[in-house]
Amino acid sequence: MNYYAKPVARLIDELGKLPGIGPKTAQRLAFHLLHAPPEVAANLAKAMQEARNAIHHCSLCGNLTDVDPCFICGDERRRRDSICVVERPRDVASMEKARGFRGLYHVLHGAISPMEGVGPEQLNIRNLLKRLSGGEVKEVILATNPNVEGDATALYLSGLIRPLGIRVTRLAHGLPVGADLEYADEVTLGRALEGRQEMK
Amino acid sequence: MNYYAKPVARLIDELGKLPGIGPKTAQRLAFHLLHAPPEVAANLAKAMQEARNAIHHCSLCGNLTDVDPCFICGDERRRRDSICVVERPRDVASMEKARGFRGLYHVLHGAISPMEGVGPEQLNIRNLLKRLSGGEVKEVILATNPNVEGDATALYLSGLIRPLGIRVTRLAHGLPVGADLEYADEVTLGRALEGRQEMK
């Protein structure tokens, strides 16, 4: 049934295709866009189109970028001897927010998942090996997600990279900072125990 | 801090200006738009711009429309002797979904709210009185929201319209269909008792 003028219905429809946006939210967003000053919708539309047009994958690390190499790969102040391997571009942002890492990244664009038909050949692995062949890299930090797919991917990559004589590490498992022991799941707690460290 | 390429950061920023979209959701939506086929972003941008360009207020009822009069006011099969007054365009859609009403609508674009500085002169009331002056309308159904602002608006409109010799009614208060008496708030329950009807 059509309760709205066609352009409104179409806008609600397109908004409703976004992940996590149900029909009610789509409707609310549509009315917001129609009631707000015209530049709100115009700026959003422009940002979407510009991002789609300008953004591609960095030829070195595979991260999303509008310049090539990306601003991290192109940053002279970053260490070139360690590469942090992540699944998604958003993981680069998470790592950067944590601030601890000053090397370069490599984005796989996924993780090995036989259930979803994703094998190593679908991931950005060939470029990683090419980067490692230069001999400049001394350590690869595997920062894939701490779940089945991420662990499988880390294991696979470790098997490829360690024979090259490069140090391969994995982000530590353990209790999240600020967490409550009572509510930690037993697997996390087990890993936290396993990875316990000397008090300094 | 800037963890993303500029066009991505700008897209996340614009998405985050939408109501109910926090930074995490904005980020998820942005990556979805960047990873999905290009037509997803293009269609959404187009729908936004078309809706903004094509949509205006119906000169009769004030509803959002791309034609004038809107498709409800222009529908010959609808009764012209009753007008249902609502606060927002989305309320027209809600009433239409309920299907019970076959007359015309009038959209106020808000409700009287001294707290938010909205008085009768900011609402689409003058046009309503103009529509009522023709003598064709026999009943005005006040379907403003059942809250303080909606009730105040209904009271105000009733005071204006009843002297014209037009029947003024208000949507019934009562228990929502399928509700549980145990969880009904006492005001609703009180109104439901007050408005009790004979069993047929």
Domain that includes residue B92, residue range: 77-170
Separation in Å, CA of A118 to nearest CA in chain B: 16
Going from the C-alpha of B92 to that of each of A3, B72, B88, B151, the distances in angstroms are 8, 10, 7, 18
Lowest mean pLDDT among A98-102, A154-158, A189-193: A189-193
* In a domain? residue B51: no
- pLDDT tens column, B16-67: 999 999 998 999 999 999 988 989 999 999 999 999 999 999 999 999 999 9
**pLDDT at residue number B3:** 78
Q: What is the mean pLDDT of chain A?
A: 89
Q: Is A20 on the interface with B (CB under 8 A)?
A: yes
* In a domain? residue A149: yes
Q: Do A5 and B38 touch (CB under 8 A)?
A: no
Query: Is residue B20 located within the same domain as residue B90?
Result: no
pLDDT higher than 90, residue A15: yes
Amino acid making up residue B142: L
Query: Is residue A137 located within the same domain as residue A90?
Result: yes
* In a domain? residue B150: yes
- Rounded CA separation A25/A34 (Å): 14
Query: Is residue A33 located within the same domain as residue A87?
Result: no
Query: Is residue A27 located within the same domain as residue A106?
Result: no
Query: Is residue B89 located within the same domain as residue B137?
Result: yes
Q: Is B18 on the interface with A (CB under 8 A)?
A: yes
pTM score? 0.73
pLDDT higher than 70, residue A198: no
Q: Is A136 on the interface with B (CB under 8 A)?
A: no
Query: Is residue B102 located within the same domain as residue B164?
Result: yes
Band (B174; pLDDT cuts 50, 70, 90): confident
**Which has the closest alpha carbon to A84: A127, A123, A139, A152?**
A139
* In a domain? residue B183: no
**pLDDT at residue number A79:** 94
Query: Is residue B34 located within the same domain as residue B87?
Result: no
Lowest mean pLDDT among A38-52, A82-96, B134-148, B164-178: B164-178
| Residue of A4, A21, A65 to mutate, interface with B, max B Cβ within 10 Å | A4
pLDDT higher than 80, residue B199: no
**Which has the closest alpha carbon to A144: A117, A118, A165, A169?**
A169
Query: Is residue B106 located within the same domain as residue B157?
Result: yes
**B82 phi and psi, to 5 degrees?**
-140, 140
Band (A199; pLDDT cuts 50, 70, 90): low
Three-class SS of residue A118?
strand
Q: Is A74 on the interface with B (CB under 8 A)?
A: no
* In a domain? residue B68: no
Q: Are A4 and B63 in contact (CB under 8 A)?
A: no
Closest CB from B3, B14, B51 relative to A8? B51
Number of domains in chain A: 2
* In a domain? residue A147: yes
Query: Is residue B33 located within the same domain as residue B82?
Result: no
- Rounded CA separation A36/B17 (Å): 11
